[in-house]
Amino acid sequence: MWRADALLMSGTGMLADSGEGPSGLPYEILKWSLAAWLCRRRLLFVSVGVEPMLHWLSRFFIRTSLRLAGYRSYRDAQSRALLQRIGFPAGGDAVYPDLAFSLPASLADRVVPHGPSARPTVAVGLYDYCGRGAVSAVQAQAYRGYLDKLCTLVHWLLERGYSVRIIISDLSYDEDVRLDLRAALEARGGGLAAGRVIDEPATSVDALVGQIAEAELVVATRFHHVLLALFLGKPVLSVSYNAKNDALMAEVGLAGFCQSIDGFDVERLIQQLQTLRNEWARLCEGVRARTSQSRAELERQYALIFGSTGGGATLAAAAPASREA
């Protein structure tokens, strides 16, 4: 910290303890926040996401870290409200969009136009639902049901002439899900040999953007699959595992194209997919306007942050690893 002028904290699911307890992200955040305070360096929490914190010690670590910060902003209003519910006075803090909305606009140039003779591709995102059923028989059954529904969706798409691109953005958690889905599809005789189900994982953000850019439609679960699809102007359905997905979809006028991952209905999902494709020409105008507005809001936040930090200052960007790549 002595080599930096400021410490910038960012991350979609940064303020949370899911799956790791107080000794994971909450402790790492507190450790770095205290280092910045001891070195008298500026501490900024920028467009961070907040999710439920189950352990009292996690909540204590997070509240303490935030109190040391000279600047705080949150990804959405529900994140700010969650902090207020655990006793942190966040009401006067700012709300700014997720930082991914300020990715280079040139990335959208990678969107592939689909001609009338081209075979359309649907991207289907994976998620390690119920920890792949490793904890209990109930969770194992729920995970098998999740895979079965994905197989049903993939087969429906294949039968109607689509190709399917399987996408993941967290190799640590979702790679095994990809292998499980591949095995389940092969057991059903699922079109893998014909090359119409493409499932090689993306190993970088650039590769993930490229995979989504090639798709005509996206069925997403990971938050950043949803966000990147919107950023690229792609029709997207959210099979949401967290309220943050629903909040993002509602912001761009797509609240009617969400389902919860817990017990989602494949038949309804297919109907939503068809409706979304038919109405996208009307809906995309609002999505693009909101995306453009998000970029402008983030530019204002950057001007506020870097203007007050000073030209030529060194920022230490601390983004501890989380489940969202």
Q: What is the C-alpha end-to-end distance of the chain, expressed in Å?
A: 25
Give the residues across from 260 on adjacent strands: 240
Point out the least confidently predicted range of 24-28, 44-48, 133-137: 133-137
Q: What type of residue sits at position 252?
A: V
Query: Across the beta sheet with 42-48, what order do the strands follow?
Result: 94-95, 71-74, 42-48, 6-9, 315-318
The pLDDT of residue 311: 53
Q: CA–CA separation, 238 vs 248, rounded Å?
A: 10
Q: What is the pTM of this model?
A: 0.84
Residue 106: both structure tokens together: 């040139």
Please choose, from the candidates 68, 6, 77, 3, the residue with its C-alpha nearest in 3D space to the C-alpha of residue 33: 68
| Residue 93 pLDDT exceeds 80 | yes
Tokens representing 103 are 């990715």
- The span from the CA of 40 to the CA of 178, in Å, is 46
Cβ–Cβ under 8 Å, residues 324 and 13: yes
Q: pLDDT category, 250, cuts 50, 70, 90?
A: very high
Spatial separation of the C-alpha atoms in residues 136 and 132, rounded to whole Å? 10
Dump pLDDT digits (tens) for 203-235: 888 889 989 998 999 999 999 999 999 989 899
b/e code 145-176 from CB counts within 10 Å (16+ = b): ebbebbbebbbbbbeeebbbbbbbbbeebbee
Length of the chain: 325
Least confident of 14-18, 219-223, 296-300, 320-324: 320-324
Mean pLDDT confidence for 120-129: 93
Higher pLDDT pick, 202 / 31: 31
- Gyration radius (Cα) of the chain, Å: 21
Question: What long-range pairs does 230-234 form, CB within 8 A, spacing at least 24?
Answer: 230/287, 230/290, 230/291, 231/100, 231/101, 231/103, 231/107, 231/108, 231/291, 232/107, 232/108, 232/110, 232/111, 233/108, 233/111, 233/284, 233/287, 233/288, 233/291, 234/111
Q: Which residue has the tokens 């450790």?
A: 31
What is the structure's pLDDT at 243? 86
pLDDT digits (tens, 9 = 90+) for 51-92: 889 899 999 999 999 999 999 999 999 999 999 999 999 999
Q: What is the tens place of the pLDDT at every residue in 175-209? A: 999 999 999 988 887 556 567 888 888 888 888 99
159 alpha-carbon distance from chain centroid: 29
In sign, the C-alpha dihedral spanning 189, 193, 194, 197 is positive
* Contact indicator for 70, 36 with CB cutoff of 8 Å: no
Q: How far apart are CA 50 and CA 222, in angstroms?
A: 15
Q: How many CB atoms lie within 10 A of CB 321?
A: 12
User: What residues have CB less than 8 Å from 277, skipping those under 6 apart?
Assistant: 216, 217, 235
pLDDT digits (tens, 9 = 90+) for 166-176: 999 777 788 99
Share of residues in the chain with pLDDT > 70 (%): 90
> Rounded to an integer, what distance in angstroms lies between the CA atom of residue 98 and that of residue 298?
8
Inter-helix orientation angle 25-38/56-67, to 10° = 30
